[in-house]
Structures are given as structure tokens and as C-alpha cells.
Amino acid sequence: MKKIFTKNHLFPSLLLLSFTADILRYFNLIFTSEFRWIILFISFLFVISHVLFKQIVSLNVLQITLIYAFWSILTYFWSENPQLSIMKATALLLVIVAAVGYGYIFIFSNTIENALDYMFPMVLTVAVGAFLGQTNVTTQEGLTFFSGGTSNPNEFGALCAMSIPFALWKYENSKKDYLRILSGIACIFFTILVVISNSRNAIIVMICINIGLFWKNKTSIHLGIYYKILIGSVIILVLFPGLFGTSLHDIIYKGKGKSNLTSSRDIVWEESYSQAKKGGIIGGGYGVTIGTETQFEGNLNASGYGREKGNSQFGIMEETGIIGLIIYIISTIMIYYVVIKKWQMCMDIKQKKLLGIIIGLLFGFLFSSMVEGWYNAPGSSECIYYWFVIGTALGLVKKKYKISAPSSILMKQRNKKVKHYLA
């Protein structure tokens, strides 16, 4: 219990919580939009003063990402709204450094079983938030989606999907039976919430997480039980949609009588693509909607300015141009390559499973970025969570673990085969 209140444990949890709880009713009375920026700045100072900071910034993949952040800051000089661009670009830099730094430091300050413990306050808050506030939102098509304590089912679905990795990892590694039971219940609970939120991108993220965990990984008896319960729950949701007020058709097509999978995003994508072409080589300024007549009020929240950017890549090109998009692509490819390569070479079974969860999560978020503009929204919960996970992944890549028994035996068997072929 004492460890929870250490600075290496409490500060990361508080930072992540402050960026997620502010969209949940009642919790946002404490975790206000202004409060989270204060926590972010303090976290940034803590990370850059940490003994591991030099090691963190020496990582090539992070350096490329920071180049994108600095390029975003440079757009201030030609931005249509310079004040907005410098504010959001600076926030992006702080988010990347603080979140990646905390995720990395946390790995080196804890055992692999506790590698995701900084998510616990967020997970607990989301679970409580499911029972608070406005629980349903009715769309123009007459569909009712579960939104928990938020005003947006997609936001709530995303929070629930983001909570699953912690619950799943605790379910696999808890040494006490009651903790494993609670973690298993949490896994099923968040799975059901994701489905009844009707958030397709959250459902994809959840599926990718599970694929990442089970792909080429030896399933333990605990995960085997979880997997069977999960499949059973999904089957019940599909066969008896009336139990939860949703249906497979509503989830897929987001509208009664619709048969086009992307019908709810077509208009947003078309506008985003049109705006992206206006970005040209250098973009119209970070955070800017090119040609908008809406004025930015100059506060710490850009809500009400611009439009929904339903695709992160189009948004990146609109704001930072082709140059920014190229830097983003290089950065993303490098990060994914380094993590996947480590996963392929990893011999420790726990490290491999955790990397599998993270890889699945990253690919889920990559898909999500194609239908939501969270990547270039540093104030969003998805953005800071993503960079926390990147920091965790890079920490797992750099930290050396003792090979656990099953992998150790496997290594010896491989060595015997090699010696046999060389003889």
C-alpha cells in the first residue's frame, strides 16, 4: 500500500486520471480542464529531472516523435491562428515527454506483474462512472447507446476499452484468488460496456487487445477460462440483443435500415480529405481548421473551435502539411517495428504476453485514429493514454528480465536442437 503513494507510482496515475476523469460527470468537478494542465506541467518537470531522462531521450524512436512535436510548434509562424497553434503544440510536447517518460520510468520502478498499475485509478473511476450521470444517448436515427457518466457513447466506449488491458493483465498475474476473480469480473464488465456503448472503434480496440494477447502465446489455465467466458458473453450479446437494448446491426451500421458500413463517417471523411489537401506542404497551423470563421477564445480549452476531424492522418496533413505527415508515418513505423521485433525475439513468457497486449492495443489505436482525430488532440484521454502505452512498450524493450521457467526450458530445447544439427 505504501508503494502506491511513492512519486514514481502516484504521479503517473494522477496524470492519466486527470485526463480521463474530466469527461466523467461528478469527477469533472475535481478534475477540471485547468487542473489537468497543472498536473501535466508538474509531471513534465518531474520527468525531465529524473535520472532516466537522458536514457529516454536517447531513444531514436522518441527523437523522431519529438521532431514532429517541434515541427508542430514551428507552424506558429505561418498558422491562421498562431495563439491556438502554439498552445496546442506546446501541450503536445508536454504530453509526449511526460506520458512516455512516466510509462518508461514506471517499468523500471516496478515488477512486470505491476507494469500497468498506473492505470488502476483510471480503471476504477471509469467503472464507477458507468453508474453515474446520463446513462443513455439517443441518436438522430432513433438508436439508444449507453454512455455511462459521459455525454458521448464513443468517449465512454473508448474509456472502457482502455481499461481492459489493466484488468486482463491483473487477471493473468494476480497471485490471490479473490484478486483474480475481481479482475476477471472487471474484464467481462468492461467488455459488455464496450459492446453496449455501440462504439465500433472501441470494439475494434478491444478485439485487437485480445488477439495481441493470444497470438502465438501459450495460454495459461486462467486465460483459457477467461477466453471461454468472453466468447460466451459475446454469443449472448449477439443472440439476445434485447437484454442490453442493442443489436449487431445497430453496432455495425449505426442506423436503422442502413447497409453501408461507413455511412456514419462518410461526410466527416469527405470534409477531412478536402481540408487535408488544403494543408499543402507545411500545413495551416497545428490545431487549426483551415478557413474556419470560428474564433478561438484564447483559454485552456479549444472546445467550440473548428470541426470534428474524423481522421487523424487527414488532420495531421491539414495542420502540419505533407512534411508533418511524413514525420508522423516514420515515427509510427519505427515505434511499431521496435516493439514487434522485441516481441518476436522475447523469450520471457510474461514479457511476451504483455508486449502482445500492447501491440494489439497499438494496432487498435491505429485503426481508431483513422475514424477519430485523437492523435492531434493532446487534451484527449486517448492521446495521453496512447503515449503512456508507448512509454511502457519502450521500457519493456529496453529492460532485461530473467527468463521464466517455461521459456527457459524452451531455450534449452532449442539449444539442444542446434547442437544436434551442428554435430
Over residues 170-218, the pLDDT tens digits come to 988 888 888 988 998 998 899 888 888 888 889 899 989 988 888 776 6
The tens digit of pLDDT for each residue in 7-46 reads: 667 889 999 999 998 888 888 888 888 889 999 999 999 9
Backbone angles phi, psi at 38, to 5 degrees: -65, -45
Cell numbers that stand for 130 in this block: 458507468
Q: What is the pLDDT of residue 389?
A: 97
How many domains does one find in the chain? 1
DSSP structure class, residue 27: G
pTM for the structure as a whole = 0.86
Query: What contacts 24+ positions apart, CB below 8 Å, involve 345-351?
Result: 347/403, 347/407, 347/408, 347/410, 347/411, 348/401, 348/402, 348/403, 348/404, 348/407, 349/217, 349/218, 349/404, 349/406, 349/407, 350/112, 350/113, 350/173, 350/401, 350/404, 351/112, 351/396, 351/401
Q: What is the pLDDT of residue 267?
A: 79
List the chain residues with pLDDT less than 50.
Answer: 1-2, 407-423
Cell numbers that stand for 117 in this block: 498499475
How far is CA 359 from its chain centroid? Answer: 11
How far is CA 88 from its chain centroid? Answer: 19
Q: What is the pLDDT of residue 3?
A: 56
Residues 288-305 as b or e (16 or more Cβ within 10 Å = b): bbbeeeeebeeeeebeeb
Greatest alpha-carbon pair distance for the chain in Å reads 77
Q: What is the pLDDT of residue 136?
A: 63
Classified as helix, coil or strand, 136 is: strand
Cell match 495542420: residue?
319
Classified as helix, coil or strand, 259 is: coil
CB 384 within 8 A of CB 16: yes
Pairwise CA distance, residues 34 & 300, whole Å: 7
Give the structural domain span for 393: 2-422
Q: What is the pLDDT of residue 262?
A: 60
Burial classification of residue 231, based on how many CB atoms lie within 10 Å of its CB (0-12 exposed, 13-18 middle, 19 or more buried): exposed
